[in-house]
């Protein structure tokens, strides 16, 4: 019995919400039980009041905490729903694409909406294109528009990821690294009808930093000894090599080494290497219970049952 939730993060989008919520309801199959969650990220206009008056379930932050935190709040609030759709509240994402996302979700765990013809300013289009190519270069995930707000998720995906920083741009990568099936379909993208874009130059720096964080954690998050231990061995061996060289100078050549800066450097490298290696071991001990929980989730695989099953007409939740 499928239950569908639509999560809409908003910031000062009161003018767009009436049309957006009407279009979302028109796009949803009346035979699927659903609810619309509007997550107000500290708006200074009447976004929360407008959404509530139109029958949406409203989550509101007293201050602006960022899109990642807003989406995570929406994901947490939809824990009882089997499928979640996200779209932005500025009317640029077209709700009429929702049925196509659901059809594609029948064979995948996450469906990303690719804005093949973006209706944004040239700078934003360029930034998105460069960031997308950087992600494809750094990872094995081949998506053309990883930062799209229009997505469909199975519940299992949202239970397995946790958004921090500005990682909402990297949700498909987080899902992909967690072992889920990710695909992309071309969707319609509309020009902004109300308000103004909150695109800023700061995203040019935050995006790559979040990408490096996700790549590092996905590779070493459950294997800290592979990262810290490896670095510790390299640093420690470098210190040991310097110490052997100094020993040779003292024993074979009779040169004094007590006042040589290399002596201090070799000791520093050896101590640092030992500390890194021990830190990796401590990390392994801390993560051991978590790994046991993850291993306990493995079950015999089962084939996914074809298409999503449409239910008999039911009253929509929250309407």
Mean pLDDT (the chain, rounded): 82
Q: What is the CA radius of gyration of the chain?
A: 25
Pairing assessment for the beta strands 57-61 and 33-41 based on DSSP bridges = parallel
* Confidence (pLDDT) at 318: 41
SS3 38: strand
- Cα-flanking dihedrals φ and ψ of residue 209, to 5°? -65, -40
pLDDT tens digits, one per residue of 253-269: 888 888 888 999 999 99
The average pLDDT across 165-174 equals 87
Query: CA-to-CA distance for 58 and 49, rounded, in angstroms?
Result: 9
CA distance 143 to 136: 7
Picking from 272, 134, 110, 154, the residue whose alpha carbon sits closest to that of residue 214 is 134
Find out whether 143 and 106 touch, Cβ atoms under 8 Å. no
| Amino acid 313: pLDDT | 37
Tell me the three state secondary structure of residue 249. helix
Domain range annotation of the chain: 3-220, 224-296
> How far apart are the C-alpha atoms of 9 and 143, rounded to whole Å?
23
Alpha-carbon span 192 to 119, nearest angstrom: 8
Distance (Å, whole) CA 230 – CA 238: 13
The CA distance from 123 to 85, in Å, is: 28
Q: Is the pLDDT of residue 80 over 60?
A: yes
Q: Please tell me the predicted confidence (pLDDT) of residue 178.
A: 86
* Per-residue pLDDT at 314: 37
Among the residue ranges 12-16, 41-45, 185-189, 290-294, the one predicted with the least confidence is: 290-294
Residue 64 Cα distances to 69, 264, 302, angstroms: 9, 49, 43
The reported pLDDT for the residue numbered 301 is: 43
CB 267 within 8 A of CB 235: no
The mean per-residue pLDDT over the stretch 32-51 comes to 94
Per-residue pLDDT tens over the stretch 2-12: 899 999 999 99
CATH class for the region spanning 3-220: alpha beta
DSSP 311: P
Q: What pTM value is reported for the model?
A: 0.70
In Å, what is the CA distance from 17 to each residue of 14, 45, 74, 178, 317?
A: 5, 12, 17, 34, 18
Kindly tell me the sign of the dihedral angle through the C-alpha atoms of 233, 234, 237, 239.
negative
85 beta partners: 6, 152
Asked if 70 and 41 count as a contact pair (C-beta separation under 8 A), the reply is: yes
Which pLDDT value is given to residue 196? 62
Q: Which two tokens stand for residue 262?
A: 């290399």
């Amino acid at each position: 019995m499928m239950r569908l939730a639509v999560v809409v993060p908003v910031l000062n989008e009161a003018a767009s919400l009436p049309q957006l919520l009407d279009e979302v309801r028109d796009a949803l199959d009346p035979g699927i039980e659903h609810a619309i969650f509007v997550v107000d990220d500290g708006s200074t206009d009447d976004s929360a009041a407008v959404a509530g008056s139109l029958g949406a379930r409203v989550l509101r932050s007293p201050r602006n905490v960022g899109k990642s935190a807003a989406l995570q709040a929406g994901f947490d609030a939809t824990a009882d729903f089997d499928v979640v759709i996200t779209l932005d509240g500025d009317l640029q994402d077209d709700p009429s694409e929702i049925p196509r996302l659901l059809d594609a979700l029948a064979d995948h765990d996450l469906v990303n909406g690719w804005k093949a013809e973006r209706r944004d300013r040239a700078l934003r289009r360029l930034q998105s294109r460069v960031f997308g190519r950087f992600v494809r270069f750094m990872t094995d995930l081949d998506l053309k528009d990883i930062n799209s707000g229009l997505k469909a998720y199975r519940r299992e995906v949202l239970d397995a990821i946790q958004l921090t920083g500005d990682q909402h741009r990297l949700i498909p990568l987080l899902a992909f690294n967690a072992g889920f099936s990710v695909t992309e379909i071309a969707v319609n993208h509309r020009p902004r009808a109300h308000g103004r874009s909150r695109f800023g130059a700061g995203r040019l720096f935050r995006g790559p930093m979040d990408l490096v964080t996700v790549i590092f954690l996905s590779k070493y998050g459950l294997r800290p000894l592979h990262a810290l231990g490896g670095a510790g061995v390299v640093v420690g061996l470098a210190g040991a090599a310097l110490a052997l060289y100094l020993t040779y100078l003292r024993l074979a050549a009779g040169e004094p080494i007590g006042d040589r800066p290399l002596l201090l450097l070799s000791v520093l490298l050896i101590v640092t290497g030992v500390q890194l290696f021990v830190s990796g071991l401590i990390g392994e001990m801390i993560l051991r219970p978590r790994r046991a929980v993850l291993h306990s989730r493995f079950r015999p695989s089962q084939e996914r049952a074809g298409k999503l099953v449409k239910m008999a007409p039911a009253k929509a939740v929250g309407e």
